[in-house]
Amino acid sequence: MKLLITGGAGCLGANIIDAYLERPGMEILVLDNFATGYRASLPQNAENLEIIEGSVSDEALVNRVFDGFKPTHVIHSAAAYKDPDDWVEDARTNVLGSIYVARASERVGVKRLVNFQTSLTFGRPETTPIPNDAPSKPFTSYGVSKTAGEQVMLAANLNVVSLRLSNITGPRLSIGPIPTFYTRLKAGKGCFCSDTYRDFMDMSDFMAFLELALDADAPQGVFNVGTGESKSINDVFDQAVAYLGITMDEPVPVVPAGADDVQTVVLDASETEKAFNWKAKVSFEDTIRKMYQWYDEFGVTAIFSHVKAPDVEKK
C-alpha cells in the first residue's frame, strides 16, 4: 500500500504511522505544515516514510507530492482549528486544501480516500445520540470549513468514506479534560468540570475501524465512529480522582457549558456497526485508565515517538 497521510504528524496521524509503518510493502508519505503536529512525533530515518513539510493549501506542492508519490490510499487528516477566529486559515486548509487533495487524488487514481470529520459538523444536534443521517448545522469556523471540505470530498469522483469521529483517546492526547485533570490533580491544583457530555473512544477501537475503512471494497459515504455512550466531564473527573487515589473534601464544581460550546456530542454508530461489522469494545473506564497509564509512562505531551530522535527539536 502507498499511503499518503495529510496532517500525518498530528495525534491521529502519528498513531496511524505507529500502527502501519512496519507492515510489509507499506510506503507512507506525510504532508504536514506542523501547525499543530510535530515532526518529532514521527520516526526520523525510516526508509519507507517520507515527510514533506508544507500545506495542503499549496496547490502546486500538493500536485507535486501526489504526482511523485502516486498514492494508492489517502487519509485526509490535516485540519486547521487552532484559532477559532481565523476563518481564513480554516477555510484555506479545510476547504481549499480538501479541493486540492481531492483533485490530485482523482488524477493519480487513488483507490480509497478516508476523510476525518469533526462531530462539530452537527452543530447543536436535536437528537442524542446523534444519528448517522442527522443534518450538518455547524456554527464555528472549524465546523463550517470542515463541513465544506467533507462535501468537496463526497462530490469528488473518488471512492470516499468520511468518518465523523468521537473523542479518540490514546497516545499523544494532550488537550481536553483527560490530560488537564491528570496534570492539575497531580500538581495539587483545583479543577472544575463543564456541564457537558462526550463520547470517548479508545485508540485501539479507532484503529480496528480504520483498518476496515481503508478497504477499497468497504462502504462509501459518511459514518459516525463512536461508542454511543454519553459520559459527562464529571465522569472523567471521577475516573481521574480514582486513578490517582485522591480523596476529595468537596464535590468538584460543575459550571455551565460556554456559549460557543455544545452541551452533548455523543454519536449513534449503529449504522456504522452494521455496515462495517465493527463495534467499539473498550469500556469508558478502561479507556481512561489506559490513557492515565500512558501518561504515567510518557508524560502529558503531544510529542512522543517510538523511535527516539534526540537531535530533533520540539517544534
Ligand X SMILES: NC(=O)c1ccc[n+]([C@@H]2O[C@H](COP(=O)([O-])OP(=O)(O)OC[C@H]3O[C@@H](n4cnc5c(N)ncnc54)[C@H](O)[C@@H]3O)[C@@H](O)[C@H]2O)c1
Q: Which of 16, 80, 158, 262 binds ligand X (CB under 6 A)?
A: 80
In DSSP terms, 6 is beta-bridged to: 31, 76
Pairing of strands 197-198, 231-232: antiparallel
Interaction between residue 243 and ligand X (CB under 6 A): no
Q: Which of 17, 43, 57, 197 binds ligand X (CB under 6 A)?
A: 57
Greatest C-alpha distance within the chain: 62
Q: Which of 28, 25, 26 is nearest to 4 (CA)?
A: 28
Q: Phi-psi region for residue 279, left (φ > 0), alpha (ψ -120 to 50) or beta? A: beta
Task: Please give the residues from 96 up to 115 whose contact with ligand X meets the rule CB under 6 A.
Answer: 97
Q: Name the residue nearer to ligand X (CB basis): 193 or 265.
A: 265
Please give the size of the binding site for ligand X, defined by CB under 6 A: 29
Stretch that binds ligand X, among 78-86, 190-198, 256-264, 274-282 (CB under 6 A): 78-86
Show the site string, 112-151: x = touches ligand X by CB under 6 A, - = not: ----x-x---------------------------x-----
Interaction between residue 79 and ligand X (CB under 6 A): yes
Q: Name the residue nearer to ligand X (CB basis): 2 or 39.
A: 39
Cell numbers standing for residue 185: 490533580
Q: What residue spans of the chain are helical by DSSP H?
A: 11-20, 59-69, 87-91, 97-108, 141-155, 177-186, 203-213, 233-244, 270-276, 284-298
Interaction between residue 199 and ligand X (CB under 6 A): no
Show the site string, 1-20: x = touches ligand X by CB under 6 A, - = not: -----xx-xxxxx-------
Question: Quick one: angle between helices 97-108 and 141-155, nearest 10?
Answer: 20
Q: Name the residue nearer to ligand X (CB basis): 9 or 280.
A: 9
Interaction between residue 37 and ligand X (CB under 6 A): yes
Q: Phi-psi region for residue 163, left (φ > 0), alpha (ψ -120 to 50) or beta? A: beta
Q: Which of 29, 93, 235, 267 binds ligand X (CB under 6 A)?
A: 93
Stretch that binds ligand X, among 26-34, 65-73, 179-187, 248-256 (CB under 6 A): 26-34
Cell numbers standing for residue 278: 465493527
Q: Phi-psi region for residue 221, left (φ > 0), alpha (ψ -120 to 50) or beta? A: left
In DSSP terms, 222 is beta-bridged to: 162
Cell numbers standing for residue 182: 491528570
Interaction between residue 87 and ligand X (CB under 6 A): no
Spatial separation of the C-alpha atoms in residues 107 and 115, rounded to whole Å: 17
Stretch that binds ligand X, among 64-72, 124-132, 163-171, 212-220 (CB under 6 A): 163-171
Stretch that binds ligand X, among 18-26, 43-51, 54-62, 289-297 (CB under 6 A): 54-62
| Helix (H), strand (E) at residue 49 | strand 49-53
Stretch that binds ligand X, among 33-41, 211-219, 237-245, 274-282 (CB under 6 A): 33-41
Residues that bind ligand X (CB under 6 A): 6-7, 9-13, 31-37, 55-57, 77-80, 93, 97, 116, 118, 146, 165, 167-168
